[in-house]
């Protein structure tokens, strides 16, 4: 089949207010128009069916090496100025294939197994309680800044071995990192600022690497440094790039899972009551928040040969945007997909991706969210809780709240 396009339909429409608020409207339009769609404006294929997204993510003919390796990034001038951050970005496991990907992932995967994460339950609960003890008497909060970010950043930073006084620093760096991998390169000046920010982010770790080398600690950073020193199993770019990845991936998304999930509950009061009355639902509830309104809305893969997806001819090297959020609302996979159903069974959402790059931190993200929601629901009493105002950040790859103000009595 030939590529066909309708210039009014584009994933870039997500940047318009109507779709920033509700991206699922656009995904339904795209899926109904053409589920494997050549987006002329975005210069990428856009895949919106659950079955097709899974098929691509398990297909070895696609590479995860992508955003930072195309002509835009590889011009001589650009590399002369930004070679170092671009090189470091490209050494993150997220953007690598086997065997480099397997090597890097295996170095850190032990820190995120369900058993290891379960041992963090008491300390995460303590952090949730401390934050809420401070917030509750105030009668209101901005959920993202007051609760979600401090919780998620403290948990991942502590795991990595970063001191508490520095936690606030990497919130902006992580947000900038998210914007960098968002894939919208239309404003070059903005991309340059984001790269400068990423440079600062990775340089910041050098001091910890030196400190850990002279005074070894019992943390994840030390384990990665030992691997660099002893076996040469990762080089310095990989060390710094993957610290940044763990910090950024480890808290932006988790924080926004708490924000998006709470907003969904407030907009569906009957589900709020259901969960408050039955805390055994918490695990399936968090999975439903992830499906219903995931912080991660898409990822990208590139075919290494010419091939077909659902009958469409895709050329080697063309970008393929995989709509994770779209797949999570595909009616062929999920009955009544736009309805929040906390007791949904067979919830095969792809909010954490699928296949070799399946989210490494999913057990940690789920536990943090479960503890945050359980504790919040014990303390918040409907109908004395008011949703004041909220706004989403325009983005292609993420659906994240800029702010979410609530008040309670």
141 three-class SS: strand
| 81 Cβ contact partners less than 8 Å away, ≥ 6 residues apart | 192
* Residue written as token pair 């993957």: 242
Residues in contact with ligand HEM, total (CB under 6 A)? 26
Q: Which is nearer to ligand HEM, 183 or 353 (CB)?
A: 353
Q: Does 154 bind ligand HEM (CB under 6 A)?
A: no
User: For residues 286 and 369, is the Cβ–Cβ distance under 8 A?
Assistant: yes
Per-residue binding string, ligand HEM, 35-64, x by CB under 6 A, is ------------------------------
Binding mask 326-365 for ligand HEM (x = CB under 6 A): -------------------------xxx---x-xxx--xx
Cα–Cα distance between 345 and 352 in angstroms, integer?
17
C-alpha separations of 296 from 80, 124, 174, 242, 273 in Å: 32, 23, 14, 19, 27
* 245 near ligand HEM, rule: CB under 6 A: yes
Q: Which is nearer to ligand HEM, 105 or 169 (CB)?
A: 105
Q: Are 85 and 195 in contact (CB under 8 A)?
A: yes
CA distance 139 to 152: 22
From the centroid of its chain, how far is CA 191?
Answer: 19
Cβ nearer to ligand HEM, comparing 276 with 301 = 301
Query: Closer CB to ligand HEM, residue 26 or residue 124?
Result: 124
* Residue 158 contacts ligand HEM per CB under 6 A: no
Among 9, 244, 257, 320, binds ligand HEM (CB under 6 A): 257
- Nearer CB in complex with ligand HEM: 351/371: 351
Query: CA 134 to CA 141: how far, in whole Å?
Result: 10
Tell the smallest beta-carbon distance from residue 299 to ligand HEM (Å). Answer: 4
Cβ burial 73-101 (10 Å sphere, 16+ → b, else e)? beeeebeeebebbbebbbbbbbbbbeeeb
259 binds ligand HEM per the rule CB under 6 A: no
Restricting to residues 280-299, name those near ligand HEM by CB under 6 A. Answer: 294-296, 299
- Footprint on this chain of ligand HEM (rule: CB under 6 A): 93-94, 105, 112, 156, 245-246, 249-250, 253-254, 257, 294-296, 299, 324, 351-353, 357, 359-361, 364-365
């Amino acid at each position: 089949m030939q590529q066909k396009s309708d210039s009014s339909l584009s994933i870039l429409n997500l940047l318009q207010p109507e779709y920033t608020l509700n991206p699922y409207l656009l995904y339904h339009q795209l899926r109904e128009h053409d589920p494997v769609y050549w987006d002329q404006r975005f210069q990428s294929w856009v895949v919106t069916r659950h079955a097709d997204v899974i098929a691509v993510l398990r297909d070895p003919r696609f590479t995860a090496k992508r955003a930072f390796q195309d002509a835009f990034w590889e011009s001589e001038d650009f590399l002369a100025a930004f070679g170092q951050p671009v090189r470091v970005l490209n050494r993150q496991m997220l953007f690598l294939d086997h065997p480099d990907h397997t090597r890097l992932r295996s170095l850190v995967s032990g820190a995120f197994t369900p058993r290891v994460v379960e041992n963090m339950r008491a300390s995460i609960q303590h952090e949730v309680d401390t934050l809420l003890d401070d917030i509750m008497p105030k009668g209101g909060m901005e959920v993202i800044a007051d609760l979600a970010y401090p919780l998620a950043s403290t948990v991942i930073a502590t795991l990595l071995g970063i001191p508490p006084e520095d936690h606030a620093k990497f919130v902006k760096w992580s947000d900038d990192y998210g914007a960098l991998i968002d894939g919208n390169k239309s404003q070059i000046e903005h991309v340059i600022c984001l790269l400068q920010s990423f440079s600062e982010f990775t340089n910041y770790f050098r001091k910890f690497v030196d400190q850990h080398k002279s005074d070894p600690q019992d943390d994840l950073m030390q384990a990665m440094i030992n691997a660099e020193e002893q076996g040469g199993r990762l080089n310095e770019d990989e060390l710094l790039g993957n610290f940044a990845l763990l910090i950024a991936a480890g808290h932006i998304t988790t924080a926004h899972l708490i924000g998006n999930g709470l907003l969904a509950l407030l907009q569906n009061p009957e589900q709020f009551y259901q969960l408050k009355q039955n805390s055994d639902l918490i695990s399936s509830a968090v999975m439903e928040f992830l499906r219903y309104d995931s912080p991660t809305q898409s990822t990208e893969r590139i075919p290494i040969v010419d091939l077909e997806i659902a009958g469409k001819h895709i050329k080697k090297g063309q970008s393929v945007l995989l709509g994770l959020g779209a797949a999570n609302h595909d009616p062929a996979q999920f009955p009544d997909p736009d309805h929040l159903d906390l007791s949904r069974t067979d919830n095969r959402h792809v909010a954490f991706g699928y296949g070799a790059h399946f989210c490494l931190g999913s057990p940690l993200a789920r536990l943090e969210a479960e503890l945050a929601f359980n504790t919040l629901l014990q303390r918040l009493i409907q109908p004395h809780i008011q949703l004041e105002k909220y706004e989403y950040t325009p983005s292609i790859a993420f659906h994240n709240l800029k702010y979410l103000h609530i008040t309670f009595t």
